[in-house]
Structure 1
Amino acid sequence: MRVSRIGLAVLKGARHAAQTSVRLEQGGPVGDRLFCLVDPTEGRVLRTVEHPRLVLVEAGWDGTALTTTTPEGGVVAAAPRPTGEQLAFEYWGREARVELQDSPHAEQLGDHLGRSVRLARVTRPGEVVYAGSVSLVSTGEIAELGETDPARFRATFTLDSARLPEPGTQLAVGEALIRVRSMLPRCRVIDINTGTGTMDTRHLATLAGRPRPVGELPFGLDAEVLVPGTVHTGDPVSATTGP
């Protein structure tokens, strides 16, 4: 079993970009979902399923400047400046907190989405991550859905394997050690075409037709970081008993 793809999104909901390597810390993949867009009228993070064109935005971060590119051809590279305003909101049953930013990205991305938005930065890693800090899918299970684009599932690691390990399994991944926690519930984001920003599949409906826990449509697993380390595409993945 090996890592066939590493992915993350600097801006929550934006294109899930493939990486050659990633550093895992206790809070998750370094650079993943550092920023998000906020609905200024409702005071919450924009939901990708409500604004599927968000997946067409490319975002990069060099530690100082955030670069965002939209399909209209616009590129903005600037260092966001904290306004001093913090926003707290309910996020999947827990409180999340982000800090609003002053930058030209909000105007650019608002024009792309056709609505007013604010740019915000998380106050701590994983603040706007739904489940565990690391997510896993397998090439075999993706193929069973008739899919060829692993980016739809926005997983930290796509593993070249027919199946994923059982919850509770500890995995050595590159230099890091992670523990698989539980199945990962899904929403209609997995039906969004990453190249067009439109809903063009029925993967969620397929999952709904499978045996599953009541009220959940799982696909993939989430995990937590036990030992930090760097992971490269192609690194071996193996079950282990611990550090």
Structure 2
Amino acid sequence: MHVTRIGFTPVKGGRHVAHPRAEIGPAGPEGDRVLCLLDPARDRVLRTVQHPALLRTVPTLAGDRLDVELDGAVVSGPLAPGGEVRKVDYWGRLAEVELLDGPWNALYARLTGVDVALARVVRAGDVVYGGGVSLVTSGSLHALSARVGQRVAGERFRPTLVVDTGSLAPGAETSWAGREVTVGSAVLRVRGAVPRCAVIDLDPVSGVSDLPVLRALAGYRQGQGEPCFGVDADVVRPGRVTTGDALVLGRS
């Protein structure tokens, strides 16, 4: 088994971009979802499922400089702290964020139609729904594509890692729950299956709903009453992961 794609985004909800390698820290890939978009009137992190146009944006973080590309135009600026720290709602739990001053807020407001504030996440992983690392496998993607009737790309699920599992049966990854896996120099412990929402119906580049992926999953991939796909994991030992690295199953 080996890694065929590594993906993440610095701004939660932005396009999930492939990277040749990732430094996996205690909370997941360094630079992954370290920023988020906030509805400042409601103190709530924006949800991609409610604002699918966010997938059209391509954020790139280099040091303290953020570039956001939208339809070929780029808005850039340094991440200047606004001095205000808030506790905000992220899917029913509190996350502490620091508001940032910069030119991106106007771009995101035009795109979403609501007032938006870009914010830095104070504690890594606070706006990540499950484990800091997620995986989907080639076998499960092929089986799902057959049910949908056309190719379902791994990036629809916004996983940290897409893993080629060779001849393993579709869904084999769900049996890894509780086991350690080594990939690159990192060691992960698999938590379990990842519940899914309608975001997976969206084209990962345009944000347009174009495939009935969630409905297809609901027909055969149920976990505690909801459609699931892929698995998430906690970091046991930080390390570097590079595209092509082997994934080795370890102990329970």
Q: Is the 8 A contact 1:70 1:109 kept in 2?
A: no
Instruction: Tell me the alpha carbon deviations over residues 187-217 of structure 1, each in whole angstroms, 9 at most, x when there is no partner.
Output: 1111101232111111111121225233322
Residue 47 of structure 2 corresponds to which residue in structure 1?
Answer: 47
Is the contact between residue 70 and residue 112 of structure 1 (CA under 8 Å) also seen in structure 2? no
CA distance in 1, matches of 2:245, 2:213: 29
Which residue is equivalent to 1:149? 153
Superposed CA deviations along residues 94-153 of structure 1, whole A, max 9, x for unmatched, are: 321111111101112222223321101100110100000000100111121213421111
Q: Any idea what SS the aligned residue of 2:59 has? A: strand
Contact 1:4–1:234 (Cα < 8 Å) also in 2: yes
Q: What are the ranges of 5 or more consecutive residues in structure 2 without an aligned counterpart?
A: 146-150
What is the 5 A alignment of 1:32-43?
32-43=32-43
Q: Secondary structure of the equivalent of 1:32?
A: coil
Which residue of 2 is the match for residue 5 of structure 1?
Answer: 5
> Which residue pairs with 1:17 in the alignment?
17
Structure 1 residue 9: Cα displacement? 0.9
Give 2:148's aligned residue: none
Distance 1:19 1:156 in 2: 10
Determine if the alignment matches structure 1 residue 222 to structure 2 residue 232: yes
Instruction: Give distance in 2, aligned partners of 1:212 and 1:109.
Output: 35
Match of 1:177 in 2: 187
SS of aligned partner of 2:234: strand
Letter in 2 for 1:169: R
Deviation track 1:152-187 (CA, whole Å, cap 9, x = no partner) reads 110000000143252011101001100001111111
> Does structure 1 retain, via aligned residues, the 8 Å contact 2:195–2:227?
yes
Mapped pair 1:91 → 2:95: no
1:197 corresponding residue in structure 2:
207
Aligned-partner Cα distance in 2 for 1:105–1:225:
32
| Whole-Å separation in 1 of the counterparts to 2:247 and 2:224 | 31
Alignment partners' CA distance in 1, 2:221 and 2:194: 15
DSSP-derived class of the 2:155 partner: helix
**Amino acid corresponding to residue 22 of structure 2 in structure 1:** V
Size of the aligned set, in residue pairs, is 241
RMSD: 1.5
In terms of mean alpha carbon deviation, does 197-206 or 171-180 score higher?
Answer: 197-206
The answer to whether the 8 Å contact 2:43/2:89 transfers is no
Structure 2 partner of 1:108:
107
Q: Percent identity?
A: 42
CA distance in 2 between partners of 1:97 and 1:205 (Å)? 34
For the residue of structure 2 that corresponds to 1:37, the secondary structure is: strand
Distance 2:197 2:137 in 1: 18
Task: State how far apart, in whole Å, the 2-side matches of 1:232 and 1:189 are.
Answer: 27
* Unaligned ranges ≥5, structure 1: none
Conserved in 1, the CA contact under 8 Å of 2:193 and 2:223?
Answer: no
Question: Are 1:70 and 2:74 matched, yes or no?
Answer: no
Does residue 241 of the first structure (1) align with residue 251 of the second (2)? yes
Assess, with a 3 A threshold, how the Cα gap between structure 1 residues 228 and 211 changes in structure 2: closer, same or farther. closer
Q: Distance in 1 between matches of 2:54 and 2:91?
A: 20
> Structure 1 length as normaliser, TM-score?
0.94
- 3-state SS of 2:226 partner: coil
